[in-house]
Structure 1
């Protein structure tokens, strides 16, 4: 009686055929390794086919996934410093109390006057000033503490100005403010309002 689990000898592949099939399988595996596995897993693309197929992107984590974030994207974002205006920098705190001030000065023809705020670096205020009776020349500037005479930094200069509004942040410890000069023939009255964080506002 013939054992049904044993194939007849003439149905079994020969050793030569087995060797040929093994060689073909190894060749296919080698081709897949070079063209698919190496580009996708390690970014190695000796044939250039992986790049054309977009497989090398998989090794760097930059493959497109629609709207979903990749881990590489999340890591990159978490390592960034907070940008200006982001929720992480929305609150600015000052050890200096908030205050409001108003100064009114009258300039005779060809007269100049300064109004300054004493501030620490980083402190800031909102300002608004208006000239009545004529236009003036203005130099908004600041001096460092214990600066030499005539040593200052100009932030903004203008001629024939009648008003200005904005925000200022002190770049260094010192005094910061305005110098106005009346170059007209009639008196000019300037009213300046400030609100923010600084030690005091005063006229020189």
Structure 2
């Protein structure tokens, strides 16, 4: 058995010392909360220190990932209904950047030939950013495409939305995660906007180049 000497009254901390230590600990905890925890977990950076340290960007990516995961879960729970073919002529979308090119007059009895267009567009995505390029297309129109990045992989979804369709409805032609490019062809199943959405999940800027050729009315950057 060991006998431990009890501290004397003079060796014990005073109430003032205990209060001072408590205040120091609370101040350090509050400083860590504001400069480290809030920026890295919630993308809230009232002091600006978190962005300097790169913690705010981490919080923004976490926030975006959470929102996208929730959106993916909601999309998976809803089975898209079959899109109805719109028989009536559809007016040019009000946000179209380019005028509709009139088709040449066909001879009697001959089927009108589609007017093929070709374009090349580029856009740059910052870390965590998502952007979209859309084509105005009529039902049964076909377009071929090819897009590539500057070597950094991105997530993408090639899809379309009908004019005046149900809120939130879209048809996905193809989608993939963490790829550096894609090419192919698709045929519109309704009158509306059809195109590509990309999301940059890396920590660097990504430049995407898109080439299109086919029967469409216009091309535009949506966001």
2:220 matched residue in structure 1: 202
State the alpha-carbon separation in 1 of the partners of residues 183 and 112 from structure 2.
22
1:105 matched residue in structure 2: 123
2:171 matched residue in structure 1: 153
State the alpha-carbon separation in 1 of the partners of residues 118 and 159 from structure 2.
20
Structure with higher Rg: it is 1
Aligned-pair CA distance for 1:96: 4.0
Which contiguous aligned blocks of 4+ residues in structure 1 show a shift greater than 2 angstroms? 93-96, 147-150
- For the 8 Å contact 1:118–1:174, the answer to whether it is kept is yes
State the alpha-carbon separation in 2 of the partners of residues 130 and 148 from structure 1.
32
Aligned-pair CA distance for 1:149: 3.6
Aligned-pair CA distance for 1:160: 0.5
Unaligned runs of 5+ in 2: 1-110
State the alpha-carbon separation in 2 of the partners of residues 169 and 184 from structure 1.
31
**Corresponding residue SS for 1:139:** strand
Structure 1 177/94 Cα, relative in aligned 2: closer, same or farther at 3 Å?
A: farther
1:183 aligned residue (170, 177, 201): 201
Aligned-pair CA distance for 1:125: 1.1
Q: What TM-score do you get using the length of structure 1 for normalisation? A: 0.52
Root mean square deviation of aligned Cα? 1.4
State the alpha-carbon separation in 2 of the partners of residues 181 and 140 from structure 1.
12
Aligned-pair CA distance for 1:133: 4.1
- For the 8 Å contact 1:133–1:187, the answer to whether it is kept is no
Match runs of 1:99-178 below 5 Å: 99-178=117-196
Number of matched pairs: 112
**Corresponding residue SS for 1:172:** coil
- For the 8 Å contact 1:103–1:191, the answer to whether it is kept is yes
Structure 1 189/94 Cα, relative in aligned 2: closer, same or farther at 3 Å?
A: farther
Unaligned runs of 5+ in 1: 1-92
Q: Which has the higher strand share?
A: 1
- For the 8 Å contact 1:120–1:198, the answer to whether it is kept is yes
